[in-house]
Structure 1
Amino acid sequence: MTAKTNANANRTQLHTGEVAARVQAGRAQLVPSALKIANLIVEAPSWVLTSSVSEVADRAGTSESSVIRACQGLGFKGFHDLKLALASDLATQNHGGDELERAEGIGPNTPRTEIPRRVLRNSAAVLQDAIHMLDLDAYQGALDALSAARRVLVVGNGTSAAPARDCAYRLTTLGLLVHAPSDSFGQHLIARSLDNRDAVVAVSHTGATKETLVAVEAAHNGGAQVIAVTSHLRSPLSAHTHHVLVAGGPELGFRQEAMTSRLAHLAVLDALFVGIAVSRPKRSRDSLDVMADVTAEHSL
């Protein structure tokens, strides 16, 4: 490859879309050789799209089998499946998708009047990426589990505590019997009492928060259906989860990755709320009417 060709290959980076979202979600679990391939896909997507698996392996300094394993590790069936998704993402990015391009980073020298635009554009891109990442089979399984559950335990700690509390409140308004202790001992205690008639919703950006894992493992061992809302395809949490719903976002300067991911997690939890509501409309309407009455009693 000539220097000119190489420069052209790297001119357009992948900012949003299914492939970028999968790389972001799977990056932390990739081995070094697979990480080289993932970086190449994002940094030179047009070149990867027109290259063979052997050419990609050669440029990444790895083997053809490593390229295929890297694609599978990112959630694709193989190299061909990756290229199909890459073609779609590039078409969107090059024809009208630029408004969702991730904004530049934010630092001490960023003009204050520029910060809202960069933050909001990045937030929009995070939500757009969530559309590509969400496993619809896992989503349907989560709806079935929650709709049939006798009791639901909602767990979230650290930066995931607020989305978990919001989820618990909203599921309660639909008539579900929901537990959401704020302390880890309470979470563990209730988790130990769950069985195959119950369900757990665990919200965790990293999928590696010890307090959340302890409760989830206990509930899973008791037979409860476990639903995870997380930012990573593979994590310690996924080992004890029946339905994994992945959505998240990157860091943006002073705005940490967990903060941007919280937006995507809230959107996924909202999709669960709406899905349950429409799957059993009468019960949901009756419960929401009760909530409206209670809200009116607490309004001036």
Structure 2
Amino acid sequence: MTTKTRAKTNGTSLLRTGEVAARIQAGRAGLVPSALKVVDLVTQEPSWVLTSSVSEVADRAGTSESTVIRACQGLGFKGFHDLKLALASDLATQEREHDDLERAEGIGPRTPRRDVPQLVLRNSAAVLQDVIRTLDLDAYEGALEALTAARRIIVIGNGTSSAPAQDCAYRLTTLGLLVHAPSDTFGQHLTARALEDKDAVLAISHTGATKETLVAVEAARSGGARVVAVTSHLRSPLATHAHHVLVAGGPELGFRQEAMTSRLAHLAVLDTLFVGIALSRPKRSREFLDVMADVTAEHSL
């Protein structure tokens, strides 16, 4: 480590939220070990990275300048300068929110129960704000086109993604789409095998590596169906099988595991798909939403 590099080192706080943190969360699974050293340095000492050159970061991470640049590109940035611009904005925002984030992440047995709702919901808001930072808008438009044009749609989700899948299928049905969300894995596989090129699959998976989900997706794709994936990780088995990949996730925060915070992000993305599809076919959507209102009234006391 050079003298200049040592002089810049300080005890700055970790990078917790913002575009850079969101991209690292989504893309780190696909990075090689040398690139991971770079992104870990960005996470652990963001203020130092912001004031350092690419050669200093390479020296500190124990890797090469080209690896630093490739690590930045692996996260979706054009290069090191592009990452630093986003990092500067993130740190300015984090500084304003520092005290609240520290308190929220420090939830524990001694936290006053009356403080829990405010702290948890503040973290939830931060997770949702990060969704737009990792959502590929070209992929989103492609997903809208595939789902709107589909003759029928199968929604697949297992484990913590099961409930969002069921909710999504129900809501898309209210728009007049022919949608099915089999709850058991055999049913998912069997239904997926019957899909053709005019059909689509909407697969939801936090890890993007759930075997049961992948089996159904592979079966659907082999029949020609379009595959839309909602996942927390840009590089995953599910992402490689999907035509349109919508990435959104959340960090692990104390008692709230990563899959729990990511589910909020996934629900938000599914909501954008619902609204986008409704706007793509407004007349038909309005007709079916009116039918939904009538059915709801019939089942209300």
Q: Specify if TM > 0.5.
A: yes
Q: CA deviation at 1:32?
A: 2.3
Q: What is the CA–CA distance in structure 2 between the aligned matches of 1:31 and 1:117, rounded to whole Å? A: 38
Return the letter of the residue paired with 1:44.
E
How far off its partner does 1:98 sit?
A: 4.8
My pick for the range that moved more, 152-161 or 58-67, is 58-67
Aligned equivalent of 2:134: 133
Distance 1:85 1:71, change over 3 A: same
Offset, 1:153? 0.4
Cα 1:297/1:233, change in 2 over 3 Å: same
Question: Offset at 1:27?
Answer: 2.5
RMSD (CA atoms): 1.8
Report if the CA contact (8 A) 2:195-2:223 is conserved: yes
Q: Distance in 1 between matches of 2:139 and 2:99?
A: 30
How far does residue 101 in structure 1 lie from its aligned partner after superposition? 4.0
Deviations 1:68-124 (A, max 9, x none): 221122122222221222223223334x55587473243444443443233212111
Question: What does residue 208 of structure 1 align with?
Answer: 209
Counterpart Cα distance in 2 of 1:224 and 1:98? 46
> Which residue in the other structure is 1:47 paired with?
48
Are 2:8 and 2:48, in contact at CA under 8 Å, matched by a contact in 1?
A: no
- Look up the SS of the partner of 1:250 in the other structure: coil
Structure 1 residues 209, 130: closer, same or farther in 2, change over 3 A?
same
- Of 206-215 and 37-46, the range deviating more from structure 2: 37-46
> 2:229 is matched by which residue type in structure 1?
A
Shift of 1:55: 0.8
Q: How many pairs align?
A: 297
Residue matched to 1:162? 163
The equivalent residue for 2:93 is 92
Q: Distance in 2 between matches of 1:240 and 1:97?
A: 38
The question of whether the paired residues in 1 share the 8 Å contact of 2:5 and 2:56 is answered with: no
- Look up the match of 2:8: 5
TM-score, with structure 2 as normaliser: 0.93
**Residue 267 of structure 2 is aligned to residue 290 of structure 1:** no
> C-alpha separation between the residues in 1 aligned to 2:43 and 2:253?
17
Tell me, which stretches of 5 or more residues in structure 2 are unaligned?
none
Give the residue type in structure 2 aligned to 1:180. A
Counterpart residue number, 2:241: 240
Q: In the TM superposition, what are the counterparts of 1:180-259 in structure 2 within 5 Å?
A: 180-259=181-260
CA deviations over 1:23-76 (Å, ceiling 9, x no partner): 111233333222221111122222222222111100111111211221122122
Asked if 1:299 corresponds to 2:287, the answer is no
> Which residue identity lines up with residue 18 of structure 2 in the other structure?
G
Map of 2:37 onto structure 1: 36
CA contact (8 A) 1:99 1:121 kept: no
Contact 2:12 2:46 in 1 (8 A): no
Report the alpha carbon displacement of residue 175 of structure 1 after superposing the two structures with TM: 0.5
Q: Residue 232 of structure 1: SS of its match in structure 2?
A: coil
* Whole-angstrom CA distance in 1 between matches of 2:188 and 2:137: 28
Question: TM-score of the superposition, structure 1-length normalised?
Answer: 0.93
Letter in 2 for 1:206: T
Identity of aligned residues (%): 78
Within 2, Cα distance between the matches of 1:215 and 1:105? 40
Alpha-carbon separation, structure 2, partners of 1:18 and 1:233: 14
- TM-fit CA distance, 1:218: 0.8
Corresponding residue number in structure 2 for 1:80 = 81
Question: Which letter maps to 1:246?
Answer: V
2-structure distance, mates of 1:5, 1:98: 21
Match of 1:122 in 2: 123
2:174 paired residue number: 173
1:145, distance to aligned residue in structure 2 (A):
0.5
Which consecutive unaligned segments of at least 5 residues does structure 1 have? none
Determine helix, strand or coil for the equivalent of 2:105. Answer: coil
Judging changes above 3 Å, is the alpha-carbon distance between structure 1 residues 2 and 222 closer, same or farther for their aligned structure 2 residues? Answer: closer
Helix, strand or coil at the partner of 1:106: coil
Look up the equivalent residue of 1:280 and give its one-letter code: R
Letter of the 2:219 partner, please give it.
Answer: A
SS in 2 for 1:25: helix
- Which string of whole-angstrom CA distances, capped at 9 and with x for unpartnered residues, describes residues 252-277 of structure 1? 12211111111110010000000011
Q: Does 1:147 find its partner at 2:148?
A: yes
**Cα distance between partner residues in 1 of 2:166 and 2:77:** 33
Aligned residues of 1:16 and 1:101 also touching (Cα < 8 A): no
Shift of 1:129: 0.6
Counterpart of 1:194, as a letter, is L
Deviation at 1:4, TM superposition (A): 5.7
